[in-house]
Amino acid sequence: MKKPVRVLCVGGSDSSAGAGIQADLKAVHACGCYGLSVITALTAQNSLGVHDVFEVKPQFVARQMDVLLSDIGADAIKTGMLLKRGIIEVVAEKIKDYKLKKVVIDPVMIAKNGYELLEDKAKKALINNLLPLAFVVTPNIPEAEFMTKKKIKSVDYMKKAAEAIFNMGAKNVLIKGGHLPGSKKKGSIDILFDGKNYHEYRAAWINTKNTHGTGCTFAAALAAFLARGLSMPDAVKKSKITITEAIKYSVKPGRGIGSVNVFGPGELSFSGRE
């Protein structure tokens, strides 16, 4: 029997299942790959926000990675919420130990309700330890602003930020422009920089507040398409289509912000109950 294409997702558990590891696994599966998971933290979370976080010890994060990679292996790895410096350091160590090349870093820093998902020391460790191992890093505009210490007000600023982050060691930089001023009128634009060329990816703006899990889903889909052998520009193109559809068919299971739905139209998208 042929082995499936494997994607290892490393990040926090979202008990509402809209983001985090749960969103990663949904996206990886929807994009035709087999998802593996390493949990870095547990969250008490619902549609109204993150209410508490419980850290998994770095030694156990390392143990999870060793057990999975020594047996099943991975064609790509995607990281999300890493929380603390010690976790980042062991994840970086295991990436090097197992010679993982298709490394997608989603620098998850702050939840939509403002809850800090990455401590200050961890933010520095992410830039110093993990970024140089990244095949691609996928910051949104607030994350890119933190990494570059500069405000991003336009597409030209996005390109400059992408170049600055590339110079920190990542092989490719994808800046997601959903927070860019004017996006609601002009549509969303993402910028990919590979060290030589800029690639632009545009999509019409979808007027919904139900966007929980967009970053996780986008990055996980990207990891899946890279694992399947697509080129970076093509993988980003398919991931952009995937996340746009997931936002279009988003769902609202609770009283707060709803979640993207990577499986598209179907039972989850129907309103009401039978």
Model pLDDT, residue 166: 97
What average pLDDT does this structure show over 251-267?
89
Walk me through the domains of the chain, giving residue ranges and CATH numbers.
Answer: 6-259 (3.40.1190.20)
Q: Which residue out of 40, 138, 148, 214 is catalytically annotated?
A: 214
Q: Which residue out of 35, 86, 177, 213 is catalytically annotated?
A: 213
Written as one string, the DSSP assignment of the chain is -PPPPEEEEEEEE-TTSSSHHHHHHHHHHHTT-EEEEEEEEEEEEETTEEEEEEEPPHHHHHHHHHHHHHHT--SEEEE---BSHHHHHHHHHHHHHTT---EEE----B-TTS-B-B-HHHHHHIIIIIGGG-SEE--BHHHHHHHHTS---SHHHHHHHHHHHHTTT-S-EEEE-TTSTTHHHH-EEEEEE-SS-EEEEEEPPP--S--BTHHHHHHHHHHHHHHTT--HHHHHHHHHHHHHHHHHT-B--SSS--B--TT-SSGGGS-S--
Q: Which residue out of 11, 178, 215, 258 is catalytically annotated?
A: 215
213 is catalytic: yes
148 is catalytic: no
Model pLDDT, residue 115: 59
215 is catalytic: yes
Query: What percent of the chain has a predicted confidence (pLDDT) above 70?
Result: 94
Model pLDDT, residue 2: 85
Orientation angle between helical segments 85-97 and 58-71, nearest 10 degrees: 20
pLDDT in tens, 133-161: 999 999 999 999 999 999 999 999 999 99
Model pLDDT, residue 272: 46
Q: Which residue out of 78, 94, 123, 176 is catalytically annotated?
A: 176
Q: Is the pLDDT of residue 274 over 80?
A: no
pLDDT in tens, 181-214: 777 778 899 999 999 999 999 999 999 999 999 9
208 is catalytic: no
pLDDT in tens, 85-136: 999 999 999 999 999 999 999 998 766 655 566 778 888 899 999 999 999 9
